[in-house]
């Protein structure tokens, strides 16, 4: 079993030293879902939510959060993000919105946390914008789907 890298031999928290690692292209993809009432999904797709365009607001929130990940996750390295993209897929059959985020950078450590943050905050933004009409919204299945780059190479779920 691998050791936890965020603790030293004395059990004290530490930021992992990545200074000796080479710069490589790093990419990650994460997904999540937001489940809601059928009527709520229709209000979103018809752009009738009173707070504004749910998808574009959630997209901006996801991008902004990816850039601020190290401010919120302890010991997460601040990164120069090269690209953040978020896509939303409407699933009318199951009354949900599926979110996919992709983050890229060239650096010494990966962008998995930034990608997961983008999906999480986009989902929370959808909830916030729609809670007045549907307090029963459920956010689920936030997970890393793929990562590329670095010594460990490619990982896919």
For the annotated catalytic residues, the residue numbers are: 128
Three-class SS of residue 134?
A: coil
Name the token pair of 39.
Answer: 């009527």
Contact 93, 35 (CB under 8 A): no
Strands in 138-148's sheet, in edge-to-edge order, are 83-91, 96-107, 24-35, 138-148, 155-156
Alpha helices per DSSP H over the chain: 38-45, 54-67, 69-72, 112-130
């Amino acid at each position: 079993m691998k050791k936890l890298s965020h603790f030293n031999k004395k059990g004290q928290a530490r930021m992992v030293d990545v200074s000796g690692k080479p710069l490589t292209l790093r990419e990650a993809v994460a997904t999540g879902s937001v489940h809601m009432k059928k009527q709520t999904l229709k209000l979103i797709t018809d752009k009738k939510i009173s707070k504004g365009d749910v998808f574009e607001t959630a997209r901006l929130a996801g991008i902004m959060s990816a850039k601020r990940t190290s401010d919120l996750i302890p010991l997460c390295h601040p990164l120069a993000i090269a690209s953040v993209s978020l896509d939303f897929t409407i699933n009318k059959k199951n009354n949900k919105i599926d979110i996919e985020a992709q983050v890229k950078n060239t650096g010494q450590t990966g962008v998995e946390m930034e990608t997961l943050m983008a999906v999480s905050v986009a989902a929370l933004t959808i909830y916030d914008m729609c809670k007045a009409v549907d307090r029963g919204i459920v956010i689920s299945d936030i997970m890393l789907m793929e990562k590329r780059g670095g010594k460990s190479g490619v990982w896919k779920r």
